[in-house]
Structure 1
Amino acid sequence: MSDDDGTWVDETEWELGSDEFAADLEEEFAPPPVVAVVGRPNVGKSTLVNRILGRREAVVQDIPGVTRDRVSYDANWLGRRFVVQDTGGWEPDAKGLQALVAEQATVAMRTADAIILVVDAVVGATSADEAAAKRLQRSGKPVFLAANKVDTERVESEAAALWSLGLGQPHSVSAVHGRGVADLLDVVLEALPEASAVATTGGGPRRVALVGKPNVGKSSLLNRLAGDERSVVHDVAGTTVDPVDSLIELGGKTWRFVDTAGLRRKVGQASGHEFYASVRTRGAIDAAEVVVVLIDSSETLTEQDQRILTMVIEAGRALVLAFNKADLVDEERRYTLDKEIDRELAQVQWAQRINISAKTGRALQRLVPAIEGALASWDARISTGRLNTFLKEIVAATPPPVRGGKQPRILFATQATARPPTFVLFTSGFLEAGYRRFLERKLRETFGFEGSPIRINVRVREKRGAKR
């Protein structure tokens, strides 16, 4: 049944069983499994990633991180979708190398479903390789050892020597020539779940990350939350002795605070410390369900603050903005801060903002309700019937803009997944970015979603048997 103006088509006109349809969409929009490629510089990580992707332009299609620390790419092998994380692009000095490679391995253990450790078979196992292997042995994740630069049969014996790392069979590959890469991928994909277990793991205390630029007060806030309440249940070791998550009881509930840079220990000022901190930040975001971004309200908002917020949005996590050091803000700064927020934080107008002081404890009681609200929005689902009724009214009042002389019609809409709420709109034509933003604004006005990103995916599809 369609409206007289032709802007809507009832879902009963779709030749699809609704249950099967919903299941297919859920599967399609489920977060794909993640394979992390780790190893020291110059072992061929990025070359291997390009080989897996089957395209050399991978480097220019990356998703920007804080530095060139970790870059994620969508990959497909024999019809299986997955994400490859390349951890290349950094060149610390030899002194800090061992710790940094081990750190990289630790973050991969937290945020990937499977890990490939790349080692230069010609050079052999170095102390940095051994440090990474030691961490990975305790990860509980499938770990695959890629013995790279095995360009000829003659180098096979060097690859065999890498059994000593204790990660099982070394898979001989030549990332440059493609030798052995298909065999490696077959084995890796066999071990991967259909959807990312890291992103979907439920049960247990909700996972919270405190992130922000250096010296914004992350440690002070965590210590204040733990100490004042006298309620650190205990520190829970992750997959290895490091990182350590803190279980803290707040508001009558236990929360798992995911370890982030500087939370549990000082980071040395050696070369590479920025890489180290940014890897930890991104790792904490990926391992969390809700992210509390701390911003120093006594200082001007920085590009670093913006980059961290972009990471949270890209990761699709629930968000709370905590403006710390409120005790240092006078009337004049309060006025300029409000102006800065309106100007600089337009992309996250939907996030709840709280002004706190980790030092004095001011307004910390507002943190838990803000976190709970953001998580409720992140988990929220709207029934298909309710969503289509809502959209029908919106479209009748404000139809999509005409493109090329044609009025695009929204045929049917459904929520594919939650965490974050992801909506799929089936349309008869392209919907302008401005109209998508309008729909997002209306969804938020009607259903709330405070503290959660929303994703709107448009599928252009002619209605079957449509009258011309």
Structure 2
Amino acid sequence: MSDEVQYAGDGIWNEEADWALVDSGEDADGESFVPMPTLAVVGRPNVGKSTLVNRIIGRREAVVEDVPGVTRDRVSYEANWSGRKFMVQDTGGWEPDAKGLQQSVARQAELAMQTADAILLVVDAVVGATATDQAVARVLRKSKTPVILVANKVDNERGESDASALWSLGLGEPRPVSATHGRGTGDLLDDVLAVLPETPREDSGAVGGPRRVALVGKPNVGKSSLINKLSGDERAVVHDVAGTTVDPVDSLVELGGKTWRFVDTAGLRKRVSHASGAEFYASLRTKSSIDAAEVVILLIDASEPLTEQDQRVLSMIADAGRALVIAFNKWDLVDEDRRLQLEKEIDRELARVPWAQRVNISAKTGRAVQKLVPALETALESWDKRISTGPLNTWLKEVIAATPPPMRGGRLPRVKFATQAATRPPTFVLFTTGFLEAGYRRFLERRLREEFNFDGSPVRISVRVREKRDRGGR
């Protein structure tokens, strides 16, 4: 694999199959974006909210650990029940009298209540209704949003009597479930679909839905601060302890007249294999956030030397084939000597992504953060770009006539034609009579970028070598 371009799917040229690919006009990643209603899961700490979220979405995504307060932010996941899709929003524990970090966590739950289309209030049926549960119920009784009371940890019929005591909260019939074992969750989801609207109550109005931006980087590089600066609101918990963000946080942010969906992810530790518990799953989900995004902002601390962690995150982004903006944060701390050193580090350490958009910012002061919008738009425009087969082959013919490929085994491989097989990222297929050297493919990729402008997006090139046939064949 080249340092500058990813070559995908080299193989044999089968004319019928490959012409079908050309004629189909389908994108490998041509996913449509349909607005979905949101179900918020709220409650006090350690009642099993994240376990219930995992049960609803059918996979282990939300961080679950036997320690109160592991989930600190609002986190959204896609769910599907009986053919209907909706978003499930996990939240930090709600504490009315919380102070410090817990106060910020409580605000995340309150915001989820304000923006959701339906709400699940989760209560520990074994413990019963606490003062905190009663305080949450008082707030929710005034809400116009549908609320379903969930009595969790009801593992058998004997526990249902404990659940019935929760009628006292004034939120109607408690639904007894066991999030750990799945007991009663099917009936609960049927009830959810009965009150959940078909479409979200707030539609961004953007065609195809908000573009998805993953915000990644090593711990304490300023990701949550940047989210808060961009949104003008305390969307993510910011604390002077590295690793405050454990789960990804979905934030709809208005920038440049558009709505963007930002996901603030947990900082990646040195090695996933050396992580444990919540940290291990947070690292895995950071990769999932990159895979689910369209464009990635890689946040790098400009005041410190580039690290192995920065390189690992960059490799994850490149392997996922996502559009890329590199934001050098803490620029207010960079002096002239550091700038000169940083330029050398960029030339050496970021040589594999010379096409990435770069912006120098300060999330703390707000310096140049507005420049992220045009950088994101440029990267996405390149990522979505499709070049018609006619202009592509006219250009290719001229380039090859001026600079033919090197000979292999005494023979000159010929490029018969080319086509763009997919977008997101742009993927090109060259149909040839022989193998093309990696160096020549790098040359074609550079010229392709110069001619058609793919700034901010990776480009993938594959070579299909024509299959030799016997003269007596068809």
Cα distance in 2 for residues equivalent to 1:464 and 1:295: 53
User: How much does 1:259 deviate?
Assistant: 4.0
For residue 225 of structure 1, the aligned residue among 222, 230, 238 is: 230
Cα distance in 1 for residues equivalent to 2:429 and 2:353: 22
Change in CA separation of 1:243 and 1:367 when aligned onto 2, cut-off 3 Å? closer
For residue 203 of structure 1, the aligned residue among 208, 214, 225 is: 208
Please name the residue that 2:401 is paired with.
396
For residue 295 of structure 2, the aligned residue among 283, 286, 290 is: 290
User: How much does 1:465 deviate?
Assistant: 9.6
Equivalences for residues 315-334 of structure 1 within 5 A? 315-334=320-339
Equivalences for residues 33-182 of structure 1 within 5 A? 95=66, 164=183, 166=185
Segments of 4+ moved more than 2 angstroms: 14-21, 23-27, 29-32, 92-100, 105-110, 161-168, 270-274, 462-466
Please name the residue that 1:373 is paired with.
378
Cα distance in 1 for residues equivalent to 2:368 and 2:345: 22
Cα distance in 1 for residues equivalent to 2:429 and 2:253: 37
Cα distance in 2 for residues equivalent to 1:443 and 1:393: 12
Change in CA separation of 1:23 and 1:167 when aligned onto 2, cut-off 3 Å? farther
SS in 1 for 2:411: coil
Cα distance in 2 for residues equivalent to 1:15 and 1:95: 58
Change in CA separation of 1:273 and 1:30 when aligned onto 2, cut-off 3 Å? closer
User: How much does 1:364 deviate?
Assistant: 1.1
Cα distance in 2 for residues equivalent to 1:455 and 1:164: 47
Supply the AA of the counterpart residue of 1:334: R
Moved more, 290-299 or 276-285: 276-285
Please name the residue that 2:316 is paired with.
311
For residue 431 of structure 2, the aligned residue among 426, 429, 435 is: 426
Structure 1 contact 381–415 (Cα < 8 Å) conserved = yes
Please name the residue that 2:450 is paired with.
445
Please name the residue that 1:355 is paired with.
360
Supply the AA of the counterpart residue of 1:251: G
Question: Are residue 250 (structure 1) and residue 250 (structure 2) matched?
Answer: no
User: How much does 1:398 deviate?
Assistant: 1.2
Please name the residue that 2:164 is paired with.
none
For residue 417 of structure 1, the aligned residue among 403, 419, 422 is: 422
TM-score, scaled to structure 1: 0.56
User: How much does 1:31 deviate?
Assistant: 8.2
User: How much does 1:283 deviate?
Assistant: 1.9
Question: Are residue 272 (structure 1) and residue 256 (structure 2) matched?
Answer: no
Change in CA separation of 1:17 and 1:347 when aligned onto 2, cut-off 3 Å? closer
Cα distance in 2 for residues equivalent to 1:436 and 1:108: 39
Unaligned runs of 5+ in 2: 1-13, 32-58, 86-179, 188-206, 236-246, 269-274
User: How much does 1:391 deviate?
Assistant: 0.8
Structure 1 contact 107–279 (Cα < 8 Å) conserved = no
For residue 220 of structure 2, the aligned residue among 201, 204, 215 is: 215
Structure 1 contact 258–287 (Cα < 8 Å) conserved = no
Q: Structure with the greater relative contact order (CA < 8 A, sep ≥ 6): 1 or 2?
A: 2
Please name the residue that 2:347 is paired with.
342
User: How much does 1:355 deviate?
Assistant: 0.5
Supply the AA of the counterpart residue of 1:358: A
Supply the AA of the counterpart residue of 1:395: I
Supply the AA of the counterpart residue of 1:222: I
Q: Percent identity?
A: 66
Please name the residue that 2:56 is paired with.
none
Supply the AA of the counterpart residue of 1:22: V
CA RMSD of superposed structures (Å): 3.9
User: How much does 1:361 deviate?
Assistant: 0.8
SS in 1 for 2:297: strand
Structure 1 contact 424–456 (Cα < 8 Å) conserved = yes
Change in CA separation of 1:273 and 1:351 when aligned onto 2, cut-off 3 Å? same
**Superposed CA offset, 1:223-249 (max 9, x none):** 01111xx698xxxxxxxxx86411111
Structure 1 contact 416–424 (Cα < 8 Å) conserved = yes
Structure 2 contact 330–361 (Cα < 8 Å) conserved = yes
Structure 2 contact 290–296 (Cα < 8 Å) conserved = yes
SS in 2 for 1:370: helix
SS in 1 for 2:352: helix
Structure 2 contact 359–371 (Cα < 8 Å) conserved = yes
Structure 2 contact 64–70 (Cα < 8 Å) conserved = no
Supply the AA of the counterpart residue of 1:380: K
Please name the residue that 1:193 is paired with.
none
SS in 1 for 2:430: strand
User: How much does 1:205 deviate?
Assistant: 0.9
**Superposed CA offset, 1:81-138 (max 9, x none):** xxxxx99xxxx998579979xx9x987969xxx9xxxxxxxxxxxxxxxxxxxxxxxx
Change in CA separation of 1:394 and 1:167 when aligned onto 2, cut-off 3 Å? farther
Supply the AA of the counterpart residue of 1:328: L
Change in CA separation of 1:463 and 1:369 when aligned onto 2, cut-off 3 Å? farther
Unaligned runs of 5+ in 1: 1-13, 33-85, 115-160, 169-201, 233-241, 264-269
Structure 1 contact 107–283 (Cα < 8 Å) conserved = no
Supply the AA of the counterpart residue of 2:22: A
Cα distance in 1 for residues equivalent to 2:234 and 2:66: 39
Supply the AA of the counterpart residue of 2:400: V
User: How much does 1:443 deviate?
Assistant: 0.6
